[in-house]
Structure 1
Amino acid sequence: MIKNLLIIIFLIGTSCLLAMDLPKFSTAGFYELPNTGRKVYSMNLAWRFIKGDVEGTPYVVDFDDSSWEVVSIPHGLEYLPVEASGCVNYQGVVWYRKRFIPESCLKGKQLFIHFEAIMGKSEVYVNGKLLKKQYGGYLPVILDVTEELEWGKENVIAVKADNSDDPLYPVGKAQNMLDFTYFGGIYRDCWLVAHNDVFITNANYENEVAGGGLFVSFADVSEKSAVVNLKAHIRNNSMKGERVTVSFELKDKQGKVVKQTKKKISVKKGTASYALSSMLIESPCLWSPEDPYLYDLDIMVHNEQGKVIDGYRQRVGIRSIEFKQNEGLWINGKPYDGKLMGTNRHQDFAVLGNALPNSMQWRDAKKLRDAGLKVIRTHYVIDPAFMDACDELGVFALVEVPGWQFWNNESVFGERVYSDIRNMIRIHRNHASLFFWEPILNETHYPDEFAKKALDICEEEYPYPYSIAACDHGAAGDHYYSLLLRPIESDLRDDKTYFIREWGDNVDDWNAQNSDSRVARGWGEVPMLIQAEHYANPSYIKKYPILCYETICNKPKQIVGACFWHSFDHQRGYHADPFYGGIMDAFRQPKTSYYMFMAQRSPEKSDLIADNGPMIYIAHEITPFSPTDVTVYSNCEEIRLTVFKGGKEYVYKKDPNHKGMPSPIITFKDVYHFMEWKAMARAGKQDDAYLLAEGLIGGEVVVSHKRYPSGQADHLVVRLDNENVSLKADGSDIVTVIAEVVDKRGTVKRLNNSHVRFDIQGEGRLLGDASVGTNPAPVIWGSAPVLVQSTTKPGKVRIIASMQNSGQSRPLEGILEFETVANDQKEIFLQEELLGGGESRSNMKKVVSKSDLERENERLRKELNQLKVKEVEKQQTQFGVGIND
C-alpha cells in the first residue's frame, strides 16, 4: 500500500511483473523440459514429524508414527515469537517420516532424492536402510534410491536431524555465542528426480573437481561477441555401451534459437564421459544489474536413433566480471560507473525461522532490488530459489561458505570446510548473479595454510575466466587473494582491489549493543529518521568516524562497492535482542531508511522487473510528536513541497556537482507546526491540510506523494504483501497478510496500541497463534502482520481482521479475499496422510463471518456514535476545553 504511493505516473516496473510468467524456480538445480524422459516430483507434502529423539527404530517401514504431527516442507520445527533471539528456538534431535507409493511409470528409471538442505547433522534412511549421513545445514543431501524402492506398496523415507552444537563441522561455534541462528529441520524443498539410465549427472552428487552435471562458463565477453563454453557430464548406467549426441540450444527471451551445437560421445556401461563444446555468440545480450538478460540453454541427450533420452534447461546470463586493481570493477569489458551498493542477508523470517518457501525467497530479493540494491552478501550457501531470483532481478550474489568466528584445529573440521567450498561452487557456478566467492570463514582467525587451500579449491573448481575469490584484508593469507574485503583506506595496496563487506553499525560496547543504526520499527518516527540519516550520514560525518553511504561513494575506484549491515531485522543466538538494524523488519515491512536507499537508484526508467525510475517519499507522519523539519527522499532533479492546499511552496534543487551519494537526504527546515494543523482541523479544513511532494525532471513533474494526518481510527484495511506473486495451492506456500488501522480516508494511524485478531475461511490456514504472539497480533506502527499458508486445493481465501476488543466506537473489521492458484508441480504423497491429523502447527478453525446485514448495522451504529461524538466536540469547543491559543 505504501509503495503504491511512491510512483503515481510511472508503473512500468509493476506492469512488467504482471505481464510476465514470473517467478521461475529451478527444481534440484535445473528447469524441467517436457518429453525428455526426465521428471521432477515435489516430496514436500505429508511428512510425519516429532520433536525429540525416539526410542526403538523409527526408521523402519512399520514403525508406528500415527501420533506424530503432519507437516509440509519447508519446515522449521516450530513457530517462533517475533522476538526469538537468545536461543529461544529448539536445539536437538528431531525425526521426520514420509510414506509414499511410487508411480508405476517410474519403475526402471534412475531415481534420486534431492533435499536442498537439512539443518545440522542428518541421517537419511529409505525403507530402514541408512543411505546418507551429512554434516552441515546449507548444502544439498542427495541419495540414489534406484535400487531401494519397492513397487506397489508403501515406502518410507526417515530423516533424523540434529541442530544441536557440534564443533566438528561448520559453522561449529556454539549457538549461544553466534550472531545468527541455525533454527532447524528440513527447511528447504525436497525433490524426487527421475530419468533414464543414460543421463546428465548432478555435480554435487558426482563429486568431481570442476565437473559433474552441466558447467557453463564464458570467455572473451564483449558487446561484439562472447564465447560460451559447455561441459556436460553424461553417465551410462545401462547394461551396454552407448553412443549419444549431446545437443545444446541457446534461446533468447522470445524462444528463438540463437545458437546450437552438438557433440557425439561414447560412454561405456557403468562409466561417465564429458561432452565438451562451445558457442561463439555474435552481438550477445549481456547480463548486468541494470539489464539482467537471461538466455535459456536447453541441453538434450539423443540416442543413436535420434530420440531424446534426457535433458533439461538452464538459465544463463552472459557476462564478465573483472577486478582491475586501481581501475576498479569492470563488467562486460567496461568500467562500472559508481559504486556497486548492496546489503547483507540472513535467511530467517519472522515466525518461520529459516523455512521460507520459494515465493518468499523471491519477495526478499525483489524488495531489496526495489530499493536499488544490486549485490547481496549471503553468509552461507543460500536457497537455490534466491539465486534464481537474483538472476532474474539483476542482483549480484556474493556467495560465502558457512562460518563465523570459529576455527577448530581438528583436521576433520578443516576437511568439512573444504568440502563445503567445493559444493558451494558446484551448486552456484552457472548463475549469472554470481559475483565472487568468499571461501574464508567470516571474522575468523584461521591458519595461513587454510586461506591458501581455500583459494586453490576455488581455482580448481572454477578454472575459467570471470571467477574470483575474496579474503578479509589483514587476515591470514590475504596476500594470496587479489580481491580483499573490509579495507583500511590508509593501507590500500596497489596490486589489490577492495570490496567493503559490512558497514553501517555504530555499536557502543558489543554488550548492550546500542547503535543509532539499530531501530525497531515500532519505536516510531524519530528513531527511524535517525537510522536513515545514520546510513546516509551527511550530517553525522563530523560527529562519528564511521562508514556511510556518503563517504563510501567518495572512496577511490579501487574500492568497488559495499554491502551494508543489514537488510532485515533477524534473530541471533548470543544476544537477547534481535538485530534491529534492518531497513525492513522481520516481516519485511519497510522502515524509513528503506526509502532513503530507494532514492539512491537511478531515476531513469528501464524494463527491469523490479520497481525502478523516479521515486519520492515524504518521511513525516504529521503527528504532534513529529519534527518541525520535513524530510523527503527522492531521486529527482528538483523537489517541490507544498504545505496545505494553496499554501506555501518550498523548492529543493539537487546539486549536479555533488560527488557523494546520488541523492542526499532532503530536509525542509521548520515547515511543520502542529498548532497550524490543529487550527486547520478546527476550521473544518481537513481536506486542505496535507503535505504534497512533487518530483521534477527536466522541469516536468514525474512523480508525487501526498500525505494527510491520520484522523480517528475508523476501520481495518487488509492487504497482501506478495510482490504480485500469487499464493500457490501446494500445501507449503506462504504469504504475508497485513492489517492496518486507518481513518476514513485510508491514512494509516501509526500511533495505536491495539491488537488485531485474524480469522480465515477457505483454502488457507493461519500460521501461529497467541502462544507466539501472532494471533491476536499487536499493532506495531499502524500494522499487524499474519502469515497464511495454502492448502492443496486452489480456491478462495477470506481473511477477516477485527479488533481484539470490540466496541461501538472501535474500528470496523477489514476483509481480504483472494484466490490461490493451481499447483503446476507434480507431488508425491499419500492423501490419507495429509488428512490424517497433526494440525498443531496450523490454525484450521473455520469461522462463521458476520453477515452483510450485521456488518451494515455495525457500520450504522458507528456512524450514529460519530454523530454523538460531534456533539461532544462541539461542547468542548464552546467551553474552551483544550484551547490554549
Structure 2
Amino acid sequence: MQLKWFSITLVWILSLTTALAQPGARTIKSFDNDWLFYLGDDSLARNVNYNAGSWRSLNLPHDWSIEGAFDEKNATTQAEGGLPAGIGWYRKIFTLPAALKDKNFFINFDGVYRNSEVWINGHYLGKRPNGYISFQYNLTPYLQFGGSNVIAVKVDNSGQPNSRWYSGSGIYRHVWMTSTGKSYIPEGGAFIKTADVSGNRAIINFQTQVMVNEDNLRLKASIYTASGELVNSIITSVGNGDTLATVSQNIIVGHPNLWSIDHPYLYKVVLQLLSGKQVVDNEQHTLGIRYFNFDVQRGFFLNGESVKIKGVCLHHDEGALGAAVNTRAMERQLQILKDMGCNAIRTSHNPPAPEFLDLCDRMGFIVMDEAFDMWEKKKNKHDYHEDFKKWHKRDLEDQVKRDRNHPSVFLWSIGNEIREQFDSTGITIARELVSIVKKLDNTRPVTSALSESDPKKNFIYQSGALDLVGLNYHQEVYANFPKNYPNQKFIATETMSALETRGFYDTPTDTTRHWPHSSKEKFAKGNPEVAVTAYDNVAAYWGTTHEETWKIIKKYDFLSGLFVWTGFDYIGEPVPYAWPARSSYYGIVDLAGFPKDVYYMYQSEWTDKPVLHLLPHWNHNPGETIDVWAYYSQADEVELFLNGQSLGTRAKQNDDLHVSWKVPYQPGTLKAISRKSGRIIKTEEIYTAGPPAQIKLDVDRASIKADGRDLSYITVSVLDKNGHVVSNADNLIQFNITGPGVMAGVDNGSPTSMEPFKASQHKAFHGLCLAIVQAKQNAGIITLTAQAEGMPKTKVIIRAR
C-alpha cells in the first residue's frame, strides 16, 4: 500500500537507521509533475508518437472545471454548480534506467473524475468509471527501460448530469509511481488491526498478503513509537513458489499510548520482506491503538469512555480550489472545525482523498467513510447507477483495503439515501455490500444513511445486514428510537439542513421558516438578495434549525451523536434558490472558510472554551427594532449595553442555546458582558461602521514551505477609518503578487457571486474577501498587495522556506 508522508514523518523515517539500514526495494515517488493537458477530445492522443507540443503544461492535481466560468447554459446542472465539464486528455513522458528492468512498476491514481482510461506506450491498461476511488495499474510488461515511455489518460466527464453537487473534472488527486522487487506486498495487502486491548498491553494483528516469486522469504513486522524507538518486532517465514500468500503475525505492545480524539497518538509500522539479509520490499504505515463500541442504551464509547459524536458532513471540494486536492486546504478546513468542537467527519457521499484520512488520523477526528450515493437506481441521468452492477464490488473492495488501516475510520457507510430502501432489491444489495466489507474488515460496524425512518417500510434496514441504524433527518423519531428500533444502535447520519448566508439578517426571529416549504415547491420565494438570514431560524422543509436537532441529540444517551449537513458550504446544490445561486447555504462555515454566526453556538456547546458572540452587525436603519442574539458558555448570564446604557441581563432557560433582546436601533456601540457568579468571563463589542476607508490583511500562516503546493490564506477585511468591519462593503479588491508565489484562488463566501475563482481580483461580501497564495518551488519573500478604489494600498509578507 502506498503512503504519503507529512514532513514530520519524513524526518522520522530518516531517523530509522537501525530498522532501515538497507535501502529496500520499494520506492514511492510523486508522479504529479510535468504533465501535458488538452481540454477536448482527440482519440489519437493515446498514440506514442502523437504531437502534443501545443498542449498546456501543468502539475497535478488538476481540476479543469474550477478554471471555467459560471454559466447557466453549461452542461452541468445548477446542482453541480454551473461550471464546465467535458472531456480532457493528459500525457506524460518519462524515462527509466535500464538497470531497473528487474523491478515491478505500478502507477497509482488517488482519484480521477471520471470515466478515466489509461494507456502506457500505446497499450490500453483499463477504465475506471468511479470518480472517487483510488486505483492502480501494473506498468511493468509494457515499459521501455533505458528509453522514453508515454502515459496517456483520457478523462470523460461529458455525460451530464452525473452528480448532485460539484464534482470537478480531471486528475484531481495525486498520482504516484511505485517500484518493487520481484516479490512484493500488493496494493492494500496489509491489514493492521488492534486485536485486543486489556490491562497494560495491546495485541496488534498483522494480516499481510505477499506476492511470492522467490523462495525462502521472511516477513518482518516492526512497531516504533512516534519518536522512532523500537517497541517490538516479529519475523515469520513466507510460503515458497509463485503464489499469493497471507502471513498472520501478532505483536504485543506494552502500556500502549492510546489514540483518541484529544490525544491522537500514532505509532509507526515498518513491514520488510526479506530474502536472506536483503530487503526485497518494504512498507510503512501509521498505527493508532484504540478500541470503541456502540451501546444500545449508552451510545458511543472510545477507549472505554463515553463520547458524544459531534460531527459534520463534508463534500470534497475546497472552495476556490475546486476539487484539486491540496493537503493544506483540507488541514485548514479541519482546523476550523476542530476549533468549533467538531470531533467527527462523514465523507459525503464518497471515498475521500487518502491525505484527508491521514489528517484525521493526525488531528483526532473519527470518520464515517462512505462509499456510494446511489446503487442501481439513479438520482441523475448519467450517475454511478450506470456502472454499479459491473464495478461496485471492485470499487468497494479497493476503498476498504485502502482505508482500513486508518485509526480515524470507525464506521463504514455503504450508501446515502439509496432508493433501493423503498423496495425489496435493497435487501439483496445491502447484504452483498456488507458482506464485501466484512470479508476485508470485521473490526468496524457498517451502516447506511437511511431517509426512510419507518423500519417496516425500509428494506435496507429489513435486510438485517446493518450493524448500526443511520437515520437522515426525521428528528421527530429520535426520542422514541428505542421503541421503534428495539435493541438497535443509533447514529444520526445527516441532520439539520439549516440555511444561512453569512452577514445577512432579517426578522422576525421568533418563528422557524422552511424554504422551500415542501416537495411541491422547488425553489424558495425569498428576497431580492437571494440570501437567507444568518439567524438560525430557516431550514429546508425536510430539516430543522441547528438548535432544534442538537437539543434532542444532547438529551439522550442512546443517541450516539450526529453529523450536521454541512460543515462547510460547497459548490452546487444551492437550496433554496434557483440561479443565480450556484453554491450551498447549508454550511456552518461559508465557502471561503469564514464562520457563520451559528458556528459560535456549536463552539459554546461542543467545547470547554469561554464563548461570547453577538449578532447581528450594528449598521441598520434608524427606528428599526433589531433582534439581538448572544451565544455564550462558561457563564451564568449576559448583560447587553447600547452606548453605555444597560438593556438588561438574560440567562438561558431550560434547554435554551442562546439569549436575545429586541433593541430599537441607535448607531453606536453594542456591548455584551458575560458573567459567572458575578465575575466577568468575556466582553464583546460591535460597532456602527462608517464608509469604507482601509483594507486589512490577516494571514493565517506567514511562513510556508517552498514546495509548489503549500498555501497561505489571507483574510481581506474592508474597514472604516476607526478599524471596524463595514458590514455591507462589497468593494472590488485587486491583488498583485511578487516573489516566488502565485494566486491560487480568490473568494468571498457569497453563494451567488459569478466572479471566477482563478483571478487577481474579487469583490468583498459583507466586508470580507479571501486571497489564497500558493508557494512556488523556490524560497524567498512573497509580497501580496491589495487595493481598492478610494483606499490606500496594503500589503502582507509571506516567507517561502
CA contact (8 A) 1:618 1:705 kept: yes
- Residue 392 of structure 2 is matched in structure 1 by 417
Residues 1:528 and 1:244: Cα distance change in structure 2 (over 3 Å): same
**Which of 426, 431, 444 is 1:452 aligned to?**
431
Which digits, 9 at most, give the CA deviation of each residue in 1:847-868, with x for residues without a partner?
xxxxxxxxxxxxxxxxxxxxxx
2:161 aligned with 1:175, yes or no? yes
Query: Matched residue of 2:33: which SS?
Result: coil
Deviates more, 1:641-650 or 1:616-625: 641-650
**Matched AA of 2:468:** L
- Residue 812 of structure 1 is matched in structure 2 by 792
CA contact (8 A) 2:37 2:90 kept: yes
- Residue 853 of structure 1 is matched in structure 2 by none
Deviates more, 1:57-66 or 1:785-794: 785-794
TM-score, normalising length from structure 2?
A: 0.82
Which digits, 9 at most, give the CA deviation of each residue in 1:72-118, with x for residues without a partner?
21111131457886152333321001122346775543322111011
* Offset of residue 234 of structure 1: 2.5
- Residue 115 of structure 1 is matched in structure 2 by 109
- Residue 528 of structure 1 is matched in structure 2 by 534
Residues 1:152 and 1:708: Cα distance change in structure 2 (over 3 Å): farther
Q: Distance in 1 between matches of 2:489 and 2:328?
A: 36
* Offset of residue 597 of structure 1: 1.5
CA contact (8 A) 2:445 2:467 kept: no
Q: Distance in 2 between matches of 1:586 and 1:579?
A: 8
* Offset of residue 631 of structure 1: 2.4
The aligned runs of 1:390-401 (5 Å cut-off) are 390-401=360-371
CA contact (8 A) 1:222 1:332 kept: no
**Which of 314, 333, 336 is 1:367 aligned to?**
336
Query: Matched residue of 2:91: which SS?
Result: strand
* Offset of residue 267 of structure 1: 4.0
Which digits, 9 at most, give the CA deviation of each residue in 1:749-808, with x for residues without a partner?
1211211111111112224699726443111011122333332223222111111xx3xx
**Which of 672, 686, 707 is 1:730 aligned to?**
707
CA contact (8 A) 1:293 1:317 kept: yes
Which digits, 9 at most, give the CA deviation of each residue in 1:433-472, with x for residues without a partner?
1121111353322612111111211221113x34434463
2:517 aligned with 1:508, yes or no? yes
**Matched AA of 2:30:** S
- Residue 352 of structure 1 is matched in structure 2 by 321
**Structure 2 alignment gaps of length 5 or more:** 1-5, 14-18, 379-383, 498-513, 747-753
Q: Distance in 1 between matches of 2:642 and 2:7?
A: 43
Query: Matched residue of 2:438: which SS?
Result: helix
Which digits, 9 at most, give the CA deviation of each residue in 1:153-185, with x for residues without a partner?
4322110111233xxxxxxxx527x42133210
Query: Matched residue of 1:198: which SS?
Result: coil
Residues 1:303 and 1:738: Cα distance change in structure 2 (over 3 Å): same
- Residue 194 of structure 2 is matched in structure 1 by 218
- Residue 755 of structure 1 is matched in structure 2 by 732
* Offset of residue 620 of structure 1: 3.6
Higher RCO (C-alpha 8 Å, min separation 6): 1
Query: Matched residue of 1:323: which SS?
Result: strand
2:588 aligned with 1:616, yes or no? no
**Which of 122, 132, 152 is 1:128 aligned to?**
122
- Residue 29 of structure 2 is matched in structure 1 by 41
Which digits, 9 at most, give the CA deviation of each residue in 1:659-692, with x for residues without a partner?
x5xxx4332524x554362xxxxxxxxxxx4625
- Residue 840 of structure 1 is matched in structure 2 by none
Residues 1:278 and 1:420: Cα distance change in structure 2 (over 3 Å): same
**Matched AA of 1:580:** Y
- Residue 827 of structure 1 is matched in structure 2 by none
Q: Distance in 1 between matches of 2:346 and 2:104?
A: 36
- Residue 581 of structure 1 is matched in structure 2 by 586
Query: Matched residue of 1:731: which SS?
Result: coil
* Offset of residue 283 of structure 1: 3.4
CA contact (8 A) 2:310 2:606 kept: no
**Matched AA of 2:535:** L
Query: Matched residue of 2:536: which SS?
Result: helix
**Matched AA of 2:492:** I
Q: Distance in 1 between matches of 2:376 and 2:409?
A: 26
CA contact (8 A) 1:82 1:351 kept: no
Query: Matched residue of 2:592: which SS?
Result: coil
Percent identity over the alignment is 22
* Offset of residue 380 of structure 1: 0.3
2:248 aligned with 1:265, yes or no? no
CA contact (8 A) 2:704 2:712 kept: yes
Query: Matched residue of 2:666: which SS?
Result: helix
- Residue 569 of structure 1 is matched in structure 2 by 569
CA contact (8 A) 2:376 2:389 kept: no
The aligned runs of 1:291-306 (5 Å cut-off) are 291-305=263-277
**Matched AA of 2:553:** I
Residues 1:322 and 1:619: Cα distance change in structure 2 (over 3 Å): same
* Offset of residue 710 of structure 1: 2.7
CA contact (8 A) 2:536 2:546 kept: no
**Which of 495, 498, 501 is 2:490 aligned to?**
498
Q: Distance in 1 between matches of 2:112 and 2:265?
A: 32
CA contact (8 A) 1:323 1:329 kept: yes
**Structure 1 alignment gaps of length 5 or more:** 1-19, 166-173, 204-211, 604-612, 678-688, 822-885
**Which of 598, 602, 624 is 1:597 aligned to?**
602
- Residue 477 of structure 1 is matched in structure 2 by 460
**Which of 756, 759, 776 is 1:772 aligned to?**
756
Q: Distance in 2 between matches of 1:519 and 1:388?
A: 42
Query: Matched residue of 2:83: which SS?
Result: coil
Residues 1:771 and 1:67: Cα distance change in structure 2 (over 3 Å): farther
**Which of 247, 251, 254 is 2:221 aligned to?**
247
- Residue 770 of structure 2 is matched in structure 1 by 785
2:355 aligned with 1:385, yes or no? yes
Q: Distance in 2 between matches of 1:363 and 1:435?
A: 22
- Residue 658 of structure 2 is matched in structure 1 by 666
**Matched AA of 2:331:** W
- Residue 719 of structure 2 is matched in structure 1 by 742
CA contact (8 A) 1:618 1:630 kept: yes
Query: Matched residue of 2:787: which SS?
Result: strand
CA contact (8 A) 1:601 1:635 kept: no
Q: Distance in 2 between matches of 1:411 and 1:69?
A: 32
**Matched AA of 2:518:** D
Q: Distance in 2 between matches of 1:25 and 1:478?
A: 48
**Matched AA of 1:77:** W
**Matched AA of 2:317:** D
Residues 1:311 and 1:694: Cα distance change in structure 2 (over 3 Å): farther
**Matched AA of 1:817:** I
Residues 1:799 and 1:318: Cα distance change in structure 2 (over 3 Å): same
Q: Which has the larger radius of gyration?
A: 1
Q: Report the number of matched residues.
A: 726
**Which of 634, 637, 658 is 2:635 aligned to?**
637
- Residue 261 of structure 2 is matched in structure 1 by 289
**Matched AA of 1:815:** K
Which digits, 9 at most, give the CA deviation of each residue in 1:248-296, with x for residues without a partner?
2241x34333x31212213435333233212333432222323322222
**Which of 323, 329, 332 is 2:303 aligned to?**
332
